[in-house]
A and B are shown apart, each in its own frame.
Chain A
Amino acid sequence: MENRGMKNPITGLNKIFDNRIRLGVMSVLMVNDEISFNDLKQLLEVTDGNLATHLVTLEGNGFIKVHKGFIGRKTNTTYSITKAGEKSFTDHVAALENMIRGMK
Chain B
Amino acid sequence: MDVQNQPSGSLQDIKDIRRIMERSSRFLSLSGLSGVAAGVCAIAGAVVGNSMLKGYYGTYDSQGFFSGDDFSKLKIKLLGVAAIVFAVAFISSYYFTWRKAKKQGVPMWDHTSRRLAWNMMVPLITGAAFILCMLRYDVWMFVAPASLVFYGLALVNASKYTLSDIRYLGYCEILLGLLNMLFIGYGLWFWAIGFGALHIIYGVLMWHKYER
Within 8 A of A (CB), among B15-38: 16-17, 20-21, 23-25
A28 touches B14 (CB 8 A): no
Chain B, residue nearest A35 (CB): B111
User: B107 to A42, Cβ gap below 8 A?
Assistant: yes
CB pair B10–A100 under 8 Å, yes or no, is: yes
Count how many chain A residues have C-beta atoms less than 8 Å from C-beta atoms of the other chain. Answer: 25
Give CA–CA (A31, B18) in the complex, Å: 10
**Do residues A24 and B111 form an inter-chain contact, with CB atoms below 8 A?**
no
Alpha-carbon distance between A35 and B5 when the two chains are bound, in angstroms = 30
B104 within 8 A of A: no
Q: Is A2 an interface residue (CB 8 A)?
A: no
Residues of B within 8 A of A100 (CB): 7, 10-11, 14
Q: What total count of A-B pairs have CB within 8 Å?
A: 54
- A20 close to B (CB within 8 Å): yes
Tell me if A24 and B20 are in contact (CB < 8 A): yes
A28 and B24 contact, Cβ closer than 8 Å, known pairs A18-B4, A42-B107, A99-B5: yes
A92 to B: closest C-beta gap in Å: 9
Q: Tell me which residues across on chain B come within 8 A of A44, comparing CB atoms.
A: 20
Whether the Cβ atoms of B13 and A43 lie closer than 8 Å is: no
Contact B13 A13, beta carbon cutoff 8 Å: no
Q: Are A27 and B10 closer than 8 Å at their CB atoms?
A: no
- Describe A's contact surface by its main secondary structure: helix
Inter-subunit contact A43/B10 (CB<8 Å): no
* Nearest CB in chain B to that of A104: its residue: B7
The yes or no answer to B70 lying at the interface (CB within 8 A) is no
Residue of B nearest to A99 (CB): B10
- Taking CB atoms and an 8 Å cut-off, the chain A residues in 84-104 that contact chain B are 93, 96-97, 99-100, 102-103
- Interfacial residues, chain B to chain A (CB-CB below 8 A): 2, 4-5, 7, 10-11, 13-14, 16-17, 20-21, 23-25, 107, 110-111
Seen from chain A, the residues whose Cβ lies within 8 Å of a Cβ on chain B are 9-10, 13, 18, 20, 23-24, 27-28, 30-32, 35-36, 39, 42-44, 93, 96-97, 99-100, 102-103
Q: Which 5 A-B pairs have the closest CB atoms?
A: A103-B7, A27-B20, A31-B25, A96-B10, A28-B24
